[in-house]
Amino acid sequence: MKKSTAHGILFFFDIASILACFYAIREFNEIIDLIAVNAERITFQSYFSFYFLTIFVPIIHGTSLINWNESTKKALNIFLVAVFLITVTGLYSLNLWLETKLTDSNYTYCTFQSNKMTFSEFKTYLKAGIECK
């Protein structure tokens, strides 16, 4: 495969990963807004915030396009791994914070309305006093 073809294909993955990040931001803002207006029911994809990790696809693709010398490349790789690990830890903490915020706002997890799938789960939280059927 030609280099230009490979970079063209990766460009579409770059666009898809940026769209996934926008989805995660929109989903997070929507959940916060629903909590603020005391919605009776909040449903969201569990660990949706990990879509933020896809932002590393265009970053890594972009850095691969630049010809770095070996010492800079090694330092950049170590830096990207460190940022990746910090991001994973932060996103896991964000998910825990979100679930804590829901329970502190008098929402309870409803197993009957939640939908478990192979790789994901759509969690449903109901406002206190609403029966989970």
Residue 132 domain-assigned (yes or no): no
Work out how many domains the chain is built from and give that number.
1
Range of the domain at 116: 3-127
Window from 16-25, 47-56, 99-108 with minimum mean pLDDT: 47-56
Span 77-86, pLDDT tens digits: 999 999 999 9
Mean pLDDT across the chain = 89
12 inside domain = yes
25 assigned to some structural domain: yes
Q: Is residue 94 part of a domain?
A: yes
Please report the DSSP string for the chain in residue order. Answer: --HHHHHHHHHHHHHHHHHHHHHHHHHHHHHHHHHHTT-SEEEEETTGGGGGGGGHHHHHHHHHTS---HHHHHHHHHHHHHHHHHHHHHHHHHHHHHHHHHHHTTEEE-TTT-EE-SS-EEEEEEETTS---
pLDDT higher than threshold 90 for residue 52: no
Q: Residue 100: its pLDDT value, please?
A: 93
Amino acid found at 1:
M
Q: pLDDT tens digits, residue range 11-41?
A: 999 999 999 999 999 999 999 999 999 999 9
Residue 123 lies in a domain: yes
State the pTM of this model. 0.80
Residue 133 lies in a domain: no
